[in-house]
Structure 1
Amino acid sequence: MSANLFRADLRHIDTWLFDLDNTLYPAESGFMAAIVDRMTDFVEKVTGLPREEAFKLQKSYLSEHGLTLKGMMLNHGVDPRDFHAIFHDMSLEALAHDPDLLAALERLPGRRLIFTNADDIHAERVLERLGLGHLFDDVFHIGSAGYEPKPSAEAFARIGAAHAIDPAATAFFEDSERNLAPAADLGMTTVLVGAYAAQSTAPFIHHRTDKLAPFLMDAKLREAA
């Protein structure tokens, strides 16, 4: 059952901004956990640290920069292409088509955009596996942002400029609470997605739902032009 207990009024929205990982598929799939494991492998190899310390460093970079890669680039001279390549052969077996999500996304009026800290190849692979790629007008990935990751204000400025985004008419869907804070500051409508969304008390979160598809299907939308 969705944690959303009322029909969200999204009739003012004509730009739909979605995070990718753990947002367009459930965290329970375990796919993101596999990504994190590969990331730890990479940090361990580059730094020579024992695995436990490599994992701590990985998480500290994530906390400080919004992206492990950013810390690896700044402090270890890592080429982002080498970093992203470690994910390109990952099995996608954990990801499945969700016909309810497909139908929910199809009913959204206006344009749909992906806003992800992953790279273009990863995003394309995941969207193809989910059967959702044709529904999105563009994928604004970490390369598009010049390797400036969410939640930095600069990342939001760059996607805003690239797509002439009007924050007042934009909804942003994310599994990461802190990535929604700058969106709210800009005037976007924020939706926290995932199993722990209902527990959030952050004042900048406008809507919370454990499952994306029912939330979108229930939402009040403007009439298509």
Structure 2
Amino acid sequence: MIPALAHVDDWIFDLDNCLYPAATNLFALIDVRMGEYIQRLLGCDPVEARSVQKRHFLEHGTTLAGLMRSHNVDPREFLCFVHDIDLARIAADPALVAALDRLPGRKFVFTNASEDYAARVLERLGLANAFDGLHDIHAMNYAPKPDPASYRALCERFGIEPTRAAFVEDMARNLIPAKALGMTTIWVDNGSEKGGHDADHEAIDFVTHDVGAWLHEILEEEMA
């Protein structure tokens, strides 16, 4: 295994656009639902709704966080509405499933989405039993990545020693708090919308375009 990864006991993975390709554009379906929710909430047209949505995402980490602060939105109602989508466009990646099965150490999902939605996605990806724990937006008390408090809460909840953990994420800015805690960081640069926004390349240890292929490579190096 690559020397910088030989010490890793715990592997932490983002979910959306990380454990499946961003090219599937699953988020387009969530975007539509968010737009519908905001139009109904504010009584605005689709153009204004999209502007509000993206502004909150960039300024607060998630659209939900911005809406909660600005409009006192009920997070559970919002998440239930926007995650009510068809998951048919994503499917299991045999290489990723096999690599995660072989990967030594504990494995966790750390997502700004809800646990119910994450469970549906993982089931669709053939990864329902691949992880030792899941830390979702509810567990974060609605302080989404990249809020440093959520990273600390994740580590405290599961007894993770950050200097012996690796974090895999498609949004480069979300790696910054992980690196500050001492984690090894992997950026999945696979075309996610705003994936490189506010990136700090000093906070990125490795870059990959495909998580399954990258894990396979490091596992093969370990066996060599």
Q: TM-score, normalised by structure 1?
A: 0.90
- Cα deviation for residue 87 of structure 1 reads 3.5
List alignment gaps of at least 5 residues for structure 1. 1-5
- Cα deviation for residue 111 of structure 1 reads 0.5
Query: Contact 1:11/1:221 (CA < 8 Å) preserved in 2?
Result: no
- Cα deviation for residue 222 of structure 1 reads 11
Query: What's 1:39 paired with?
Result: 34
List alignment gaps of at least 5 residues for structure 2. none
**Cα gap change, 1:84 to 1:201, in 2 (>3 Å):** closer
Moved over 3 A (4+): 6-9, 196-201, 220-223
Query: Contact 1:9/1:221 (CA < 8 Å) preserved in 2?
Result: no
Out of 111, 116, 119, which is 1:116 matched to? 111
**Cα gap change, 1:159 to 1:175, in 2 (>3 Å):** same
Aligned mates of 1:147, 1:8 — CA distance in 2: 36
- Structure 2 letter corresponding to 1:14: D
Aligned mates of 1:8, 1:87 — CA distance in 2: 41
- Cα deviation for residue 75 of structure 1 reads 1.1
Query: What's 1:63 paired with?
Result: 58
Q: TM-score, normalised by structure 2?
A: 0.91
Query: What's 1:86 paired with?
Result: 81
- Structure 2 letter corresponding to 1:10: L
Out of 87, 91, 95, which is 1:96 matched to? 91
Query: What's 2:44 paired with?
Result: 49
Query: Contact 1:153/1:182 (CA < 8 Å) preserved in 2?
Result: yes
Indicate the structure whose relative CO is greater, using CA pairs within 8 Å and at least 6 residues apart: 1
- Structure 2 letter corresponding to 1:45: R
Q: Secondary structure at the match of 1:143?
A: coil
- Cα deviation for residue 201 of structure 1 reads 7.0
- Cα deviation for residue 114 of structure 1 reads 0.3
Query: Contact 1:10/1:220 (CA < 8 Å) preserved in 2?
Result: no
- Cα deviation for residue 9 of structure 1 reads 4.3
Identity across matched positions, percent: 42
Query: What's 2:172 paired with?
Result: 177
Query: Contact 2:140/2:150 (CA < 8 Å) preserved in 1?
Result: yes
- Structure 2 letter corresponding to 1:212: V
Aligned mates of 1:221, 1:93 — CA distance in 2: 32
Aligned mates of 2:80, 2:219 — CA distance in 1: 41
Aligned mates of 1:121, 1:201 — CA distance in 2: 32
- Structure 2 letter corresponding to 1:208: V
Query: What's 1:208 paired with?
Result: 207
Query: Contact 2:173/2:200 (CA < 8 Å) preserved in 1?
Result: no
- Cα deviation for residue 142 of structure 1 reads 0.4
- Cα deviation for residue 139 of structure 1 reads 0.9
Query: What's 2:132 paired with?
Result: 137
- Cα deviation for residue 71 of structure 1 reads 1.1
